[in-house]
């Protein structure tokens, strides 16, 4: 018998929340960071190593997977979990953001978005109904509604029009979504940086009724101060008994600041993208392993880290691998960064449990 989809709030430290999400493929301790597995793979990391990092959920993407290998094929092969041999939870982004950011030609209308593939130029129409169908075929534990990611900056009129279109698409997404035990559908609050629009979006999404609520349209160039200000008035609008997900965030300080404001879930390409480009997150901040100062440095990336990379290889070796463009360099750096992020999330969860989160963020 599969588990019912649910969220349990276990403890708080001021606005910071410690919880647990239950899904068909297991539980997720929150606040949680989801490594991004856009094309059914977290770039340069094997599944075993993702699991060893204590990652409990990964993110896949409707847009990329519908283009290749195709949702019909993935469904035929047993769904995304079986296809990539990942038996923990998966959240899939609806494709809305990628349609806006990647497709060569796009046309938005009430029905959905017509776009040309960034791979071969082939034309597609992605609608709320089609996005729900694809995510059902993939077998996503958490499905995201289809929305328009409002560009930044946007005038109030443009943001209002975009947010209201997303609300209509949210209702169509909910109507088209096929319920299954242990699976959930999240709404996405839009409205750019306008408080009145965020309030209307949140209120109407709650009226439609979802299993969780995401905050979209941030981390798109507005800067940390504006993002935090928007979160200050947006997260209190959302139900206490449902998970809150800040999409596409972010750097460690962004995550800590968003947890402080009541957010439960995060995803970002930063740890793996940075790893592939030679940047490591360490206890003291970040380092660029390409720098000449590390050519003969026998210390691990981070002496406080117990990941495979730090236990087995020196900065000197990593400097050599990355500068030589060796694939192993990208793998070892990315693995370390994912471990750094998951260790950070564990510290955050412990601090909330001990009601010492403010102490953590002051260090």
DSSP codes joined into one string, 188-220: EE--TT-HHHHHHHHHHHHHH--SEEEE-S-SS
> Beta strands 32-35 and 265-268: pairing type?
parallel
Cβ atoms of 44 and 332 closer than 8 Å: no
DSSP codes joined into one string, 110-178: SS-EEEE-TTT--EEEE-HHHHHHHHHHHT-SEEEPP-----SS--HHHHHHHHHHHHHHHHHHHHHPP
Beta bridge partners of 29: 20
Q: Which residues are catalytic?
A: 93, 267
Strand order in the sheet with 244-246: 32-35, 265-268, 244-246, 212-215, 184-189, 142-144, 90-93, 58-61
> Beta strands 16-23 and 26-30: pairing type?
antiparallel
């Amino acid at each position: 018998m599969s588990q019912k989809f649910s969220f349990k709030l276990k403890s708080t430290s001021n606005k910071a929340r410690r919880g647990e999400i239950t899904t068909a493929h297991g539980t997720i301790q929150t606040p949680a960071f989801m490594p991004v597995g856009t094309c059914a793979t977290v770039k340069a990391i094997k599944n075993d190593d993702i699991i060893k990092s204590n990652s409990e959920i990964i993110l896949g993407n409707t847009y990329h997977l519908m283009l290749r290998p195709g949702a019909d094929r993935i469904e035929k092969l047993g769904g995304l979990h079986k296809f990539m041999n990942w038996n923990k939870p998966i959240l899939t982004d609806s494709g809305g953001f990628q349609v806006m950011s990647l497709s060569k030609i796009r046309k938005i209308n009430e029905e959905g978005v017509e776009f040309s593939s960034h791979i071969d130029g082939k034309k597609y129409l992605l609608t709320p109904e089609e996005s729900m169908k694809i995510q059902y075929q993939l077998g996503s534990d958490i499905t995201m509604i289809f929305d328009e990611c409002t560009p930044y900056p946007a005038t109030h009129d443009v943001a209002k029009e975009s947010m209201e279109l997303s609300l209509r698409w949210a209702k169509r997404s909910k109507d088209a979504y096929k319920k299954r035990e242990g699976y959930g559908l999240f709404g996405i609050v839009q409205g750019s940086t306008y408080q009145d629009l965020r309030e209307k979006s949140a209120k109407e999404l709650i009226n439609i009724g979802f299993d969780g609520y995401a905050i979209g349209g941030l981390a798109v160039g507005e800067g940390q101060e504006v993002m935090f200000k928007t979160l200050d008035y947006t997260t209190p609008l959302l139900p206490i008994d449902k998970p809150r997900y800040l999409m596409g965030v972010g750097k460690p300080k962004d995550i800590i600041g968003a947890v402080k404001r009541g957010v439960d879930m995060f995803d970002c390409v930063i740890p793996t993208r940075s790893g592939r480009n030679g940047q490591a997150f360490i206890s003291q901040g970040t380092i660029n392993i390409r720098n000449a100062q590390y050519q003969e440095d026998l210390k691990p990336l981070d002496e406080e880290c117990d990941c495979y990379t730090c236990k087995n290889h020196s900065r000197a070796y990593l400097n050599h691998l990355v500068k030589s463009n060796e694939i192993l360099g990208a793998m070892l750096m990315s693995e370390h960064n994912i471990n750094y992020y998951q260790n950070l999330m564990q510290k955050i969860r412990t601090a909330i449990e001990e009601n010492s989160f403010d102490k953590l963020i002051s260090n």
